Amino acid sequence: MNEFLHSELFAVTLTVGLFWGAQLVQKRLKSIILNPILVAIILIIVVLKMGNISYETYYAGGKYVEFLLKPAIVALGVPLYLQIEQIRKQAFPILACQLVGCIVGATSAYLIALHLGASADVAISLAPKSATTPIAMEVSKLTGGIPSLTAIIVILTGILGAIFGRAFLKLVRVKSPIAQGLALGAAAHAVGTSHAMEKNVKLGVYSSLGLIINGTLTGLLTPYILHMFGV
């Protein structure tokens, strides 16, 4: 039994099984708080702790699930292609809002962290929080942040965006699925985009677009934004 708990098969089964189960629970209870990713992460941590299984042992199998994320991200290009004509007509406002979102997101995260008493390296680590994990970690490494901390913050940002993003947008009367999608993609990257795709195809398409554009702009502009503050 102990050998099975430390096997790659167990890691894959645990990851897929808990996520699938968390999805079923959310659908049954209809609670936005029970985000499947958040629930699965918590349960996996509990199982690893109870079974005295190291992260390295778990990752030996979990890496196969991670590998599937790459074709999943590429697959987002299909709905984008189907909406290409409409996107082309709105290219300028889309780029403009994503540029503003990137600058405000990175600047506000950095300054708020400093204002609340965070050290410089922690504040730098928070700046690229709205980009996807690989981009955010590279920006953090380049600018003197803590990449591991950045990864955690990126995941939390995505989960919170998926849970509360649409509710907040509705609260401030943002009703357009295009605006909602771009906002979710820019602020909550891949996690927000997967949530958006489940709710509405058009919402998911523009969230994918926001994810791509904001990720690119974050990678290009965040070092310069931080440089303006003496980093």
Residues 162 and 185: their CA atoms lie apart, in Å, by 10
pLDDT in tens for each of the 231 residues of the chain? Answer: 566 667 778 888 888 898 899 888 888 887 777 888 888 888 998 988 888 888 888 888 777 777 777 777 677 777 777 778 888 888 898 899 999 999 999 999 999 999 999 899 999 999 998 888 888 888 998 888 999 899 889 888 888 888 888 888 888 888 888 888 889 888 888 788 877 877 777 888 888 888 888 888 998 999 999 988 876
CA-to-CA separations, 178 to 28, 50, 71, 200, 209, in angstroms, rounded: 28, 44, 24, 11, 10
Q: Quick one: which of 149, 122, 114, 150 has its CA closest to 135? A: 150
Say if residues 153 and 126 touch (Cβ distance below 8 Å). yes
Place of tokens 């303006």: 228
Residues 126 and 151: their CA atoms lie apart, in Å, by 9
Give the pLDDT confidence score for residue 113 in this predicted structure: 93
Tokens of 142: 């380049």
- Biggest CA pair distance of the chain: 59
Give the pLDDT confidence score for residue 79 in this predicted structure: 73
Residues 15 and 63: their CA atoms lie apart, in Å, by 11
Burial level of 41, CB count in 10 A (0-12/13-18/19+)?
Answer: middle
CA-to-CA separations, 222 to 71, 95, 110, 210, 216, in angstroms, rounded: 27, 16, 10, 16, 10
Q: Quick one: which of 219, 213, 56, 230 has its CA closest to 150? A: 219
Q: Tell me the domain boundaries of the chain.
A: 2-74, 78-228
Residues 103 and 108: their CA atoms lie apart, in Å, by 8
pLDDT tens readout for residues 122-144:
999 999 988 888 888 889 988 88
pTM of the model: 0.78
Give the pLDDT confidence score for residue 2 in this predicted structure: 64
Tokens of 53: 């299984």
